[in-house]
Amino acid sequence: MHDAPSPSEIIAAVKSFIDDAAAPQLTGHAAFHARVASNVLATLLRELEQRPAAESEEATRLRAILKAAPTTTLDAMNRDLCARIRDGEMDAATPGLFAHLKATTIAQLSIDQPNYSGLKAALS
Amino acid sequence: MSGGASQETWAFEVVDGEATHRLILRRAPGGESVARSSEAITLRTESALLACADMAGVPVPGVLGVFEPGSDVGEAFIMHRIEGETLGRKILRDDAYKTARPVLSKQCGEALAGIHAVDIDTLPELPRSDGADQIKKYENIYRDFDLPRPVFELAFAWLKANEPVPQPPVLVHGDFRLGNLIVDEQGLASVLDWELSHIGDPREDIAWICVNSWRFGQIANRVGGFGKLDELLDAYAAAGGTRFDAREIDWWETMGSLKWGIMCMIMYEAFRSGGDPSVERAAIGRRVSETEIDLLNLLEKAI
């Protein structure tokens, strides 16, 4: 298989089409949706670039906190973590837990909404 | 007009000789009220609430007439059109509101004291919902989605462990924030969007306008991105309300961020279920993480 153009190149091309060709011709609700569409494509570009490393770091932290087997999937570890917080077995005082949630949320938001004020506050 | 999530809003003018009356028609979609979310009140209840709030001195648009279901217009009411701005970013940024911004916290405190002072025995039937009810309700919604979010689990656990003693129940506006307030050059001109009104804890309204999602980037100003919480609390007490401590607002602000996060999940669910395939409903699922960072910022201070 080949990947020329790559997913990122294709998304960037579609985003340019929306921003430069389509959106200027739209009004009202359609113009609003075009702006939203352009924004989610920007999210997708950040996702392609940042998610693999962010997820791998998230999994490493979770494995340490949960003492999980190396083969446990990220989804299974997050479900396990949720169940343990819900049952009261783990809380904000659990070593590494709060720092892990903060690092994971910062990574998520850096993809989803990198300009959000709460992200800047968390990083400062 | 846009605004008002689930009702039609029409601006129109009545020309009466020399006088022109600028009015608003609030109308159920297509004239018939449909079963919406279980908590949203009907237009008839909304018009009655506006009249009660008006009597209590809260700035609201005066109601001029109510159309019953089955009338030619359908279920609807007519109110005065209040001039001013509702868009949060404009209110926080534009020069036109530079004299309004410094007085807005005080005016919001006074308006909330007025709303919370309304004799609840005079009100139409409203849903009741205090802090414990809201934890239960939003936790059920969240669990039904089966999209596990550890930050939300931590927030639920903290809210349950730190639940405050409920205040005597009052009329709660339920959505008191920039976007639902008309602001003119002098400040607060009108309180709109009473659809989520209920009987509950007064601190819910005070905290909701503090939720970072409604500060539109101006994170240092806890009240709506424009003011200090103590200014609002002082004005609230001077207008007859209880003098709450800023720390008492923290629990409800955390509840508010969690609630908004789950509301974003509800809107995304409309996309996921196929009910609303728009890109906007899909995209809002990627705003849930905004409330997660706000929750962590709040919890970090609290624990």
pLDDT in tens, B96-113: 999 999 999 999 999 999
Its domain, for residue B48, covers 8-130+166-244
B155: Cα within 13 Å, side-chain hemisphere: 32
Task: Report the mean per-residue pLDDT for chain B.
Answer: 93
Q: How many domains does chain A have?
A: 1
Count of residues for chain B? Answer: 303
CATH code assigned at B225: 1.10.510.10
Of A86, A88, A105, the CB nearest to B296: A105
Contacts (Cβ under 8 Å, ≥6 apart) of B303: A92, A93, A98, B158
The shortest C-alpha distance from B162 to chain A (Å) reads 14
The confidence score (pLDDT) of residue B7 equals: 79
pLDDT single digits (tens) A111-123: 999 999 999 999 9
**Complex ipTM:** 0.95
For residue B2, being part of any structural domain is answered with no
Does A91 contact B289 at a Cβ distance shorter than 8 Å? no
User: Does any CB of chain A come closer than 8 Å to the CB of residue B300?
Assistant: yes
The confidence score (pLDDT) of residue A100 equals: 98
Of A32, A85, A119, the CB nearest to B293: A119
The shortest C-alpha distance from A108 to chain B (Å) reads 7
For residue A2, being part of any structural domain is answered with no
Q: Which two tokens stand for residue B246?
A: 């800023």
CA–CA gap between residue A87 and residue A48 (Å, rounded)? 35
Per-residue pLDDT of chain A (124 residues; tens, 9 = 90+): 999 999 999 999 999 999 999 999 999 889 999 999 999 999 999 999 999 999 999 999 999 999 999 999 999 999 999 999 999 999 999 999 999 999 999 999 999 999 999 999 999 8
For residue B191, being part of any structural domain is answered with yes
For residue B138, being part of any structural domain is answered with no
Amino acid at B275: G
Its domain, for residue A13, covers 7-123
The shortest C-alpha distance from A3 to chain B (Å) reads 26
Using the predicted structure, report yes or no on whether residue B9 has a pLDDT greater than 50: yes
User: Does any CB of chain B come closer than 8 Å to the CB of residue A10?
Assistant: no
Does B212 contact A120 at a Cβ distance shorter than 8 Å? no
Q: How many domains does chain B have?
A: 1
For residue B256, being part of any structural domain is answered with no
Mean pLDDT of B71-100: 95
For residue B151, being part of any structural domain is answered with no
pLDDT single digits (tens) B277-293: 999 999 999 999 999 99
CA–CA gap between residue A112 and residue A46 (Å, rounded)? 8
Q: What is the DSSP letter of B38?
A: T
- Contact A81/A90 with Cβ under 8 angstroms? yes
The confidence score (pLDDT) of residue B34 equals: 59
The shortest C-alpha distance from A83 to chain B (Å) reads 8
For residue A1, being part of any structural domain is answered with no
User: Does any CB of chain A come closer than 8 Å to the CB of residue B72?
Assistant: no
For residue B228, being part of any structural domain is answered with yes
Q: Which H or E run contains B141?
A: helix B131-145
The confidence score (pLDDT) of residue B2 equals: 59
For residue A89, the tally of other CB atoms under 10 A from its CB is: 9
The confidence score (pLDDT) of residue B68 equals: 87
Q: Return residues 34-63 of A near B (CB < 8 Å).
A: 36-37, 39-40, 43
Between residues B49 and B37, which one has the greater pLDDT?
Answer: B49
Could you tell me the pLDDT band of residue B76, with boundaries at 50, 70 and 90? Answer: very high
B11 DSSP β-pair partners: B24
Using the predicted structure, report yes or no on whether residue B4 has a pLDDT greater than 50: no
Does B156 contact A122 at a Cβ distance shorter than 8 Å? no
Mean pLDDT of B45-73: 92
Radius of gyration from C-alpha coordinates of chain A? 19
Closest chain A residue to B291 measured between Cα atoms? Answer: A118
Using the predicted structure, report yes or no on whether residue B41 has a pLDDT greater than 90: no
For residue A56, being part of any structural domain is answered with yes
For residue B175, being part of any structural domain is answered with yes
